Copies of this chain bind each other. A is one copy, B any other.
């Protein structure tokens, strides 16, 4: 049986613009992600915190570098770091290059969070694959990747927590 509406009732989603479809899909996945993350004990962390962890994973970064990667001002990044430090998710160490620089690095708690968050994201993707079929989901990923590359070239855009 064909999944596409052929002669039956037209899918109302077919009338929506691509941008809306992307937005709806994103919002649905993200809401469910946040729900499960809160259930897992991370209700205090918003998506932007997870983005910060992503940006800091590996060798850490200065607050200003973090700001650039997140696409916000360095003041906003500084405040984020302060909160995360108070909650024990990052440490601020002496920066090898000296100056006023401080290197912000993840603690084990943040690394654990990244693992849990990643697990939930993969779980969501697996559930979608079960409904839509693994092949279709891989195709979706490929087409999204091409769309993104077509709009940005090689550089990856920052993912900001607001419209």
Contact = CB atoms under 8 A, between A and B. Distances in A.
A18 B142 contact: no
Please tell me how many copies of the chain the complex holds.
2
A126 to B, nearest CB: 10
A108 B28 CA distance: 33
Q: Which size bracket describes the interface of A in this complex?
A: 35 or more
Interface string A137-150: 10111111111111
Contacts of A131: 146-147, 150
A28 B157 contact: yes
Contacts of A112: none
Given A132-B150, A136-B143, A18 B27 contact: no
Contacts of A88: none
A22 B21 CA distance: 10
